[in-house]
Amino acid sequence: MNYSDARDCGYCRSPITLDQRWVREKVYDPAPQNDREPSYRRYHAEVFSGEQLSCWEKHQLQREMARSIARAA
């Protein structure tokens, strides 16, 4: 996945403004390099109007579904 800006949500790609709550996820590059620092992705932590889940919760559900599919394969 490409992320255009560190202040953009990793799920919906919308900017995260200063007044919004957000969650940060630490991500390590899978390449085996010892000097690599982790990067971070941010997600909206609050539920938007008309939605059932926040971007962070949706991201977590996608990860869990991917894990379940991988285990079943």
Rounded (5°) CA angle 3-41-52:
100
The confidence score (pLDDT) of residue 32 equals 67
For residue 69, what are its two tokens?
């599919």
To the question of pTM greater than 0.85 for the whole model, the response is no
The whole-number average pLDDT for the span 34-46 is 86
Residue 13's CB: how many other CB atoms inside 10 A?
13
Banded model confidence at residue 1, pLDDT cuts 50, 70, 90? very low
